[in-house]
């Protein structure tokens, strides 16, 4: 049966060569002249020249404090900064007035958690629609639901929110094969917030946030607000469906340094009604409407959540990185990721002394593969790979509870970027084959 859906082709070898030429750092060598094989994009991506140039040009030609001053540089800086906001909004399929610039994804999640906490302060919700006020106020008897696969950035802020308000933190468990358990056993009438990752930064598990999503259906049934950590999905997938009016998602965050952009900038997207109702997280210049000695009022969002001089050059660089991904075609970026995923799982399955964590089906994964070599600590595995010029991540990847659930102390993680090639996966596999010999495992590589 034909679906009428066009077949998406991954990036060709010629296209990949052109892409890699856009990333200056990939041309360097490491460890006594070995070519760099960078397989740690899940931690931070490399940056194309268009991003480096955009940030440099801002500093060289337009540098000034945005939204301040009447001189030409201030006008140009403000135009560049707000233009970047519009480009980010286009990437998200959202309205620019719903895009808040933050320092990173972690700050975006903390902004949301502190807004819920601040909502309990006297007068914080004066003038806010009572239904929204009810949804934002948390106290004893209320519940916040997360999942067992969360990065610490989408766990600790909610733990702290519950500590401050007296609410209870609950979580959806993870199965042995790295999928979420049934959320209906956890999400209930007392649930005020459901916060979960779109893609696990350890397992690569792609959680269902589509029209038939069990998590979204459970949250919708009880009127809970849904917060999505899109830090691992934004570099690989078209995430515009998450911001659609009927998606069931109320807010999401992602970070610039994982999406080809600079460090020091991230994005919080939230529905306009939520931003208008939320009390601010940081206060000071730029986010105010009227200031008197007796008190102050706030500017409309997104300015309400952008106190102080913002990271203008970084926002411009982020917009350039997102434009780069868009120009490649997000459907093709996603298919390239799937090609790498299939190849990585294949080469690891050929090594019976390697145990892959997470779903066996490559279609259920995005961006990364974590594994263990039983009897060899991941740090030692990583050192062997690094000696061959292969950069990976080892440890618990800011996800201790997930590793405890999987009964492993740590893991080695391979993660992809749009510039990663199948040949680099082969080089990684060849370097990995040194592990049994070095550590006397008594197995054939």
Catalytic center residues: 398
- Residue 250 vs residues 146, 159, 227, 431, 432: alpha-carbon distances, Å: 15, 20, 6, 44, 42
Measure Cα distances from 384 to 350, 380, 403, 429 in Å.
Answer: 19, 6, 22, 12
Residue 1 burial class via C-beta count within 10 angstroms: exposed 0-12, middle 13-18, buried 19 and up:
exposed
Dig out the tokens for 79 from the structure: 């135009």
Sign for the CA dihedral angle at 57, 59, 64, 65 comes to: positive
CA distances from 366 to 42, 187, 248, 356, 387 (A): 10, 26, 22, 14, 27
Q: Which token pair is 44?
A: 């931070």
* Side-chain-facing half-sphere of 70: CA atoms under 13 Å: 0
Report the distance separating Cα 100 and Cα 115, nearest Å.
14
Distance CA 202, CA 431 (A): 21
Please report which helix (H) or strand (E) contains residue 163, including its range. helix 156-165
Q: Dihedral of CA 296/164/248/325: which sign?
A: positive
């Amino acid at each position: 049966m034909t679906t009428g859906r066009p077949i998406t082709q991954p990036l060709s070898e010629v296209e990949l060569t052109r892409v890699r030429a856009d990333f200056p750092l990939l041309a360097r060598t490491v460890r006594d002249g070995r070519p760099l094989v960078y397989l740690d994009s899940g931690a931070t991506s490399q940056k194309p020249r268009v991003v480096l140039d955009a940030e440099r040009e801002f500093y060289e030609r337009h540098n000034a404090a945005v939204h301040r001053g009447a001189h030409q540089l201030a006008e140009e800086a403000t135009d560049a900064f707000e233009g970047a906001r519009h480009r980010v909004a286009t990437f998200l399929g959202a309205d620019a007035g719903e895009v808040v610039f933050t320092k990173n994804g972690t700050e975006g999640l903390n902004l949301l958690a502190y807004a819920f906490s601040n909502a309990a302060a006297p007068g914080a919700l004066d003038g806010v629609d009572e239904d929204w006020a009810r949804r934002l106020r948390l106290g004893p008897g209320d519940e916040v639901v997360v999942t067992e696969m969360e990065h610490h950035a989408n766990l600790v802020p909610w733990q702290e929110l519950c500590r401050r308000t007296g609410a209870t933190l609950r979580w959806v468990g993870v199965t042995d094969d790295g999928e979420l358990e049934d959320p209906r056993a956890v999400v209930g009438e007392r649930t005020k917030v459901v916060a979960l990752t779109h893609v696990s930064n350890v397992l690569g598990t792609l959680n269902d946030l589509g029209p038939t999503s069990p998590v979204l259906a459970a949250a919708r049934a009880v009127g809970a607000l849904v917060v999505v950590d899109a830090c691992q999905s934004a570099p690989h997938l078209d995430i515009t469906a998450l911001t659609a009016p009927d998606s069931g998602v109320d807010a999401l965050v992602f970070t610039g340094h994982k999406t080809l952009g600079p460090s020091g900038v991230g994005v919080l997207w939230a529905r306009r009604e939520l931003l208008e109702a939320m009390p601010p997280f940081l206060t000071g210049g730029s986010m105010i409407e009227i200031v008197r000695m007796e008190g102050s009022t706030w500017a409309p969002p997104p300015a309400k959540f952008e106190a102080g001089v913002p990271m203008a050059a970084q926002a411009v660089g982020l917009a350039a990185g997102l434009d780069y991904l868009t120009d490649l075609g997000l459907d093709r970026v996603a298919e390239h990721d799937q090609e790498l995923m299939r190849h990585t799982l294949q080469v690891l399955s050929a090594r019976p002394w390697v145990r892959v964590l997470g779903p066996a089906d490559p279609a259920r994964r995005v961006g990364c593969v974590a594994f263990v070599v039983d009897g060899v600590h991941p740090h030692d595995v990583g050192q062997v790979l690094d000696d061959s010029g292969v950069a990976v991540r080892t440890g618990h990847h800011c996800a201790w509870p997930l590793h405890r659930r999987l009964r492993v102390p740590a893991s080695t993680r391979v993660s992809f970027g749009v510039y990663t090639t199948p040949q680099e996966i082969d080089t990684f596999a060849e370097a990995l084959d040194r592990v049994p010999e070095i550590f006397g495992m008594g197995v054939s590589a």
